[in-house]
């Protein structure tokens, strides 16, 4: 039985976060090459990607994480319903870039966008995860953060890729590792980078340790690094190794996925 890794490509890594719908093609190409290495080394990968500037900016403007809002002043030229449709379409467009990068490395992959199979938000979202383990070995199943329907009065909400990776890590058979590939940092930092000083990397992070919970709430509708750490500890408790590494430095994502020594943050019990 091949081992399986759940890998998240952060939205802030694969897109220019503050410029609407801008893909970092060179980063995508490099990440796809590292993913290919994992497959060739006998490790199956379930890939989840974030939204970056294809999701957060519009979702923020139209307050989609809060669900249906009635009686407020217009939030822009679109209605909330139109914004839901546009963000879903934008996420499909980003997903198409991800799939294209995989195809260019001859990686066979299948995409399962959450608005077609998941409802409700947070770690207890509903949806059949069995589909993710039914793909033959060597095929990468891909999903992503999305706007999903909710069963309560919110009607819709944002399902983060960080909630998807937790549930996939816990519920799919044979998952040994959960790897978060991030942009702009080498892992979890003790304190904010100041001027040209990079900030101090925490190599082993315990649950109660303090860290720099950088969250660009003016841009992000989900939880930033704090959410990754929280979901990471929940995955660790079910016996999965959890690493947070830079997706911008050569080889680190592949090393993390393959269990090789790597610079980054490892969560420890
Ligand atoms: O970037 C957010 O997913 P995340 C999804 O994985 C949207 O938290 C549509 C903003």
Side-chain-side CA neighbours of residue 209 (13 Å) = 20
Q: How far is the CA of 219 from the centre of ligand 1 (A)?
A: 11
pTM of the predicted protein model: 0.96
Overall size of the chain counted in residues: 269
pLDDT digits (tens, 9 = 90+) for 61-99: 999 999 999 988 999 999 999 999 999 999 999 999 999
Place of tokens 């938000």: 121
Q: How far is the CA of 146 from the centre of ligand 1 (A)?
A: 6
200: left (phi over 0), alpha (psi -120 to 50) or beta: beta
Q: How far is the CA of 79 from the centre of ligand 1 (A)?
A: 20
Could you tell me which residues come within 8 angstroms of residue 234 by beta carbon, excluding any fewer than 6 positions away? 123, 166, 170
Among 101-115, 180-194, 219-233, the range with the most confident prediction by mean pLDDT is 101-115
Query: Between 123 and 211, where is the model more confident?
Result: 123
Q: pLDDT over 70 for what percent of the chain?
A: 99
CB under 6 Å to ligand 1: residues?
11, 50-51, 55-56, 59, 87, 91, 145-147, 158, 160-162, 221-222
What's the mean pLDDT in 172-189?
Answer: 95
The ligand 1 atom at the shortest distance from the C-alpha of residue 222 is: 8
Q: How far is the CA of 150 from the centre of ligand 1 (A)?
A: 16
For Cα atoms 52, 55, 57, give the angle at the middle one, nearest 5 degrees. 85
Task: Quickly state the pLDDT bin for 217 (edges 50, 70, 90).
Answer: low
The ligand 1 atom at the shortest distance from the C-alpha of residue 227 is: 8
Probe target for ligand 1 pocket from 98, 145, 181, 228, with the most ligand atoms within 8 Å of CB: 145
Residue closest by Cα to atom 1 of ligand 1: 50
Q: How far is the CA of 1 from the centre of ligand 1 (A)?
A: 32
The ligand 1 atom at the shortest distance from the C-alpha of residue 11 is: 1
The ligand 1 atom at the shortest distance from the C-alpha of residue 220 is: 10
Question: CA 191, CA 234: separation in Å to the nearest integer?
Answer: 23
pLDDT score, position 199: 82
pLDDT score, position 95: 98
Q: Are 130 and 172 in contact (CB under 8 A)?
A: no
Instruction: Give Cα 57 to chain centroid, integer Å.
Output: 16
Task: Quickly state the pLDDT bin for 196 (edges 50, 70, 90).
Answer: confident
């Amino acid at each position: 039985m091949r081992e399986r890794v759940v890998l998240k490509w952060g939205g802030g890594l694969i897109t220019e976060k503050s410029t609407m719908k801008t893909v970092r093609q060179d980063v995508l190409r490099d990440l796809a090459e590292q993913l290919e290495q994992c497959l060739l080394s006998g490790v199956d990968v379930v890939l989840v990607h974030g939204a970056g500037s294809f999701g957060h900016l519009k979702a923020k403007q139209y307050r989609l994480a809060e669900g249906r809002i009635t009686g407020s002043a217009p939030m822009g030229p679109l209605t909330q319903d139109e914004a839901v449709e546009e963000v879903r379409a934008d996420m499909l467009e980003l997903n198409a870039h991800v799939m294209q990068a995989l195809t260019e490395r001859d990686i066979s992959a299948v995409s399962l966008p959450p608005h077609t199979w998941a409802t409700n938000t947070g770690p207890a979202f509903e949806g059949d995860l069995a589909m993710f383990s039914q793909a033959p070995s060597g095929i990468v199943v891909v999903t992503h953060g999305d706007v999903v329907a909710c069963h309560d009065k919110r009607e819709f909400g944002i399902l983060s890729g960080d909630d998807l990776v937790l549930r996939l890590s816990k519920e799919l058979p044979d998952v040994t590792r959960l790897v978060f590939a991030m942009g702009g940092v080498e892992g979890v930092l003790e304190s904010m980078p100041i001027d040209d000083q990079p900030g101090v990397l925490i190599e082993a992070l315990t649950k109660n340790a303090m860290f720099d919970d950088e969250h660009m709430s003016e841009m992000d509708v989900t939880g930033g690094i704090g959410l990754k750490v929280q979901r990471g500890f929940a995955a660790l408790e079910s016996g999965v190794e959890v690493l947070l590494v830079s997706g911008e430095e050569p080889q680190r994502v592949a090393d993390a996925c393959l269990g090789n020594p790597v610079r980054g943050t490892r969560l420890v019990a």
